[in-house]
């Protein structure tokens, strides 16, 4: 079996079965069973990884199977299935089955269970492509809501609300997401900067201190430049926040606060791209939480910034 390679520029992010057992179960809510499996699958190897892949390939069949049947279909053993259940936060296989059955039933009744495992073909009509994208994004949003620790969002919001300055680090697509957050924070009077160039980012991080905040964005949590910039901020005493899809990635392990997102890849939209909408949702939540905690200041700043650009809007009835 080939280990899952998260980022070719930064090596692989894998763990063996014993490591999973030593770390203990995934600390997330009882909702979003399949979200837990998706989030954890990339960090598993060997037999545990095969169990995760089999469960994700056909959740409804997994929910109907006995522990012996699931072991046979995944080419593992009942003992491995039990260890997998513990790694996913369940006491035993019965709890896992019930969780999967409940989740697949809710999804089916909600009407958003399009076959998102199917590849988009060159000849597919746009109506089919649209359904596929909406289904994938909807699943990713639901998974993100299940994985997200709101207590961590609260901690990040309090830190940003009281910060003298906020640095946001990201590369490539993550940089675009970071710029959105920087724009939102600036509108409510938070001194925020977004950096994608590692030299500029490192120089800015070096000027941070206690009371400042640094936010690093990387779906894989493996992007070297983002890790370096966040590490520099951490070394200066700033509060560090990671937004990532991998809660045990190097970026997450470095950060004081970790915000986890999910993704659902489709053709031409690998994980890093499909994670963008969930990332924006989490950052929108964080932005609103900051605005709530700085209400008077935020309201006044938003009003002034809106008035400043109001003169550049086309007058009603004037051709644009």
Q: How far apart are CA 270 and CA 274, in angstroms?
A: 6
Sign of the torsion formed by the C-alpha atoms of 268, 269, 271 and 276: positive
Q: Which of 25-39, 77-91, 141-155, 205-219 has the least mean pLDDT?
A: 25-39
The two structure tokens encoding residue 184: 């939102």
Question: Hey, what are 223's tokens?
Answer: 């992007």
pLDDT of residue 174: 93
Which domains, ranges and CATH numbers included, belong to the chain?
A: 33-107 (1.10.10.10), 143-310 (3.40.50.10490)
pLDDT exceeds cutoff 60 at 16? no
Residue with the larger pLDDT of the pair 15 and 186: 186
* CA angle centred on 238, ends 236 and 243, rounded to 5°: 125
pLDDT above 70: percentage of residues in the chain:
80
Nearest to 286 by CA among 164, 189, 149, 115: 149
| CA distances to 65, 86, 212 from 93, in Å | 10, 9, 45
pLDDT (0 to 100) of residue 118: 56
The per-residue pLDDT for 61 is: 85
pLDDT for res 2: 33
Write the CA distances from 143 to 37, 78, 96, 274, integer angstroms: 10, 27, 16, 13
Beta carbons within 8 Å of 179's beta carbon, 6+ residues apart: 168, 194
Average pLDDT, the chain: 81
Instruction: Quote the pLDDT of residue 267.
Output: 54
pLDDT at 23: 35
Residue 31 pLDDT more than 80? no
Q: Would you say residue 259 has pLDDT above 90?
A: yes
């Amino acid at each position: 079996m080939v280990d899952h390679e998260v980022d070719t520029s930064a090596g692989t992010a894998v763990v063996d079965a014993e490591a999973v057992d030593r770390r203990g179960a995934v600390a997330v809510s009882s909702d979003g069973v399949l979200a837990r499996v998706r989030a954890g699958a990339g960090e598993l190897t060997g037999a545990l990884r095969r169990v995760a892949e089999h469960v994700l390939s056909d959740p409804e069949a997994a929910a109907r199977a006995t522990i012996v049947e699931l072991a046979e279909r995944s080419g593992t053993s009942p003992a491995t299935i039990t260890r997998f259940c513990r790694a996913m936060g369940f006491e035993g296989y019965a709890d896992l089955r019930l969780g999967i059955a409940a989740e697949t039933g809710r999804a089916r009744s909600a009407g958003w269970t399009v076959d998102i495992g199917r590849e988009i073909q060159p000849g597919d009509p746009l109506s089919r492509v649209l359904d596929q994208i909406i289904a994938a994004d909807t699943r990713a949003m639901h998974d993100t809501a299940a994985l997200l620790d709101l207590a961590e969002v609260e901690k990040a919001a309090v830190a940003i609300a009281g910060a003298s300055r906020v640095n946001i680090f990201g590369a490539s697509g993550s940089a675009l997401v970071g710029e959105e957050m920087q724009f939102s924070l600036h509108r409510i009077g938070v001194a925020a900067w977004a950096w994608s160039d590692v030299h500029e980012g490192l120089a800015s991080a070096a000027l941070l201190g206690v009371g400042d905040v640094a936010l690093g964005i990387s779906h894989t949590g493996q992007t070297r430049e983002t890790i370096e910039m966040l590490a520099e901020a951490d070394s200066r005493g700033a509060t560090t926040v990671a937004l990532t899809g991998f809660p045990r990635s190097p970026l997450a392990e470095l950060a004081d606060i970790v915000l986890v997102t999910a993704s659902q890849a489709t053709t031409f939209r690998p994980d890093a791209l499909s994670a963008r909408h969930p990332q924006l949702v989490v950052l929108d939540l964080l932005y609103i939480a900051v605005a709530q905690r700085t209400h008077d200041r935020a309201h006044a700043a938003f009003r002034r910034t809106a008035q400043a650009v109001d003169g550049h809007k086309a007058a009603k009835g004037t051709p644009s």
